[in-house]
Amino acid sequence: MKKIAQIAFALLATMSMLQAQESPKEEDFYKIITPPIPEGIILEVGGLTTMPNGSLAISTRRGEVWIVDNPTSRTPYFRKFATGLHEILGLAYKEGALYCAQRGELTKLIDKNGDGKADVYETVYAWPLSGHYHEYSFGPKLAPDGSFFVSGNVAFGDEEWWRGESRVPGRGWIFHITNDGKYEPYATGVRSPAGISMLNGELFYTDNQGDWMGTGGIFQVKKGSFMGHPAGLKWAGLPNSPVKLTEKQFFAERDNRQNKDDKGRAIKPENTGNETPQFLYQLKEKYDMVQLPAVWLPYGVHGVSTSELILDNTQGNFGPFTGQVFVGDQGQSNIMRVVLEKVKGEYQGASIGFRSGFQSGVLRMAFDKDGSMFVGETNRGWGSAGDANQGLQRLVWNGKMPFEMYTVKAQPDGFEIEFTMPVDRKSAEDLDSYNVSSYLYKHYPVYGSPPINTETVKVVGVKVSDDAKKVRIVLDNMRQYYVHKIQLEGVRAATNSWSLVHTDAYYTLNNIPDGEKLKVSDLKTTRSGKAVATVSEPEKEHVSPDGKGKATTAKAGAAKAPTWAEVKPLLEKNTCLACHAAEKKVVGPSYQDVAKRKYSNEKIVDLIYNPKPENWPDYATPMAPMPQVPKAEAAKIAAWINSLAK
């Protein structure tokens, strides 16, 4: 009996050691708290701002403004401040008043008698509307001089719902409302600019994937700049427009690019068309006002409907990331962390995962005075990964240090990565701990783009700093303008052997820095032979000079249905998992529900290319056509979907 007890004790001790060494997850450092909301209040949050007295102001898509007093207490107090407004998708506080961007105007809300309710609804400026349902207005955001910026969503086409149109001035634009109430067009080329933000006095915005936007992106906004979507160029010739690029120039340049590949080589006329590789940087090289994104966000990995940017100004109360930027995503109900730097006068940087698991789509964020982050949520009209239709939650750091990539910075010959804690030198000096690849997105009038021109980038060597908190990775082929996916699955922390909470960073390399390169003699080049990081299949699509992707999958007529392991890389690559899951509803129906329809494989393939939203009336967001999916891959996906019916 004594021996059995000893064995049991030894097993328990071993299990405890294994548990202690197990690497923590997001939720082990950042806790999601859902505050109590009084019955009957529906918070489809469109705007969120912390007021000087610590109260939280919330605007909703339903046209209400709420003030929450003592918002972090167990019994926050909600009071309605304003009502009867038109879809408020932004809120700002200035000099004792709240300002909101309604669908068609910037409105000042004033409580003159101090009773806690707005008495005056003052129109600061009203802009034109065509009446299209998708003409959302986002903002306002305060400039350093107290004036305001607002962004205007494009309308969508009558026949192709996803194709952006600018039916009235201001749609597809970011515009400026001066302190004396005057309207000033500022920049164009935006599609769905849901996240207009001011970071350290500089204007940024986020856009959503769609036509002319291969994936979500984060852009700095300069006066007169063009971000890539041509709809707003319809108004570039107006007398007060600062944008010098015209529609005629854009489409002439597009036709020129269609006759060349990404190396500038001529393509035979019979091979031209929408599938020809076209890249935004090619337009930038000819027209300086073209603004490249500071960061491309990988679709389906770091979100599907990019929302607001927020700067961590908590001085360490929200963790080790003071001065860095967080970006929300409405579709996948998550938040990413963004590390920005300026190289040769332009912003660029990396997107890194941060926290998932919110109850609804993350649209707005605001820091409380205690350093916690309020998260305003909605999925109405768009759909989201979270099960709830709307809500307010709070993200709180528990004071423990996560093992993360703190910064990722470009070097003349690779990247320097700084960590939040020292790394285990043996794992960090092993080249098999790393994997790097690079790819780009198309700039063309199709809904989104798969990653294309993907190449594995050889890691030549690494150098670990003396304090073991930095690793310099030297590569043999950095590609300007390309996204570089940096995987560090093998790197471990020195004190506890933890793996990184988030092992992947996606760095958009607009410019390669000048400077001294490391000598090979300064590098560690050993390999353990235990390669743990691999280039993920979702990025293995290359485009030949004729613009056609090389099919790497089995032939369409395979009799045996593919397994989940075989089809998952194809679903990831073609961004299918951004809106669908195998067993549950996300933005679109589950694949099991599709299988229940008993479509033939051929019918599913046709529906990938030509969706029929009327077949799914219970889903608010219709599926866009996906002509970029290779037919062999579509056939394999269809066969797998139908295998779920069994």
Tell me whether the omega of the peptide bond preceding residue 140 falls within 30 degrees of 0, making it cis: yes
Tokens 């990653």 -> residue: 451
> One-letter amino acid identity for 62?
R
Q: Read off the DSSP letter of residue 290.
A: B
* Contacts by residues 614-623 (CB-CB < 8 Å, ≥ 24 positions apart): 616/588, 616/589, 619/383, 619/587, 619/588, 619/589, 620/380, 620/381, 620/382, 620/383, 621/381, 621/382, 621/383, 621/579, 621/587, 621/588, 622/161, 623/579, 623/588
Three-state secondary-structure class, residue 130: coil
The H or E element that residue 455 is part of is: strand 452-457
332 token code pair: 């996948």
Kindly tell me the burial class for residue 196, based on how many C-beta atoms sit within 10 Å of its own C-beta (0-12, 13-18, 19 or more): buried
The two tokens of residue 62 are 């339903």
Q: Annotated binding residue at 623? A: yes
Distance CA 187, CA 551 (A): 39
DSSP string, 584-630: S-SSS--HHHHHHTT--HHHHHHHHHS--GGG-TT-SSPPPP-TTS-
Q: CA quadruple 292, 293, 299, 305: dihedral positive or negative?
A: negative
Rounded Cα distance between 189 and 221, Å, is 10
For residues 135 and 98, is the Cβ–Cβ distance under 8 A? Answer: no
- Whether 580 has a binding-site annotation, put simply, is yes
Q: What is the dihedral of CA 223, 224, 226, 230, to 10 degrees?
A: 130
End-to-end CA distance of the chain: 50
Strand arrangement, sheet containing 45-50: 45-50, 56-60, 65-69, 77-82
Q: 576 among the known binding-site residues? A: yes
The kind and range of the H/E element at 21 are helix 2-21
Q: Rounded CA gap, 384 and 305, in Å?
A: 9
Cite the annotated binding site for heme c by residue number.
576, 580, 623
Binding positions are: 576, 580, 623
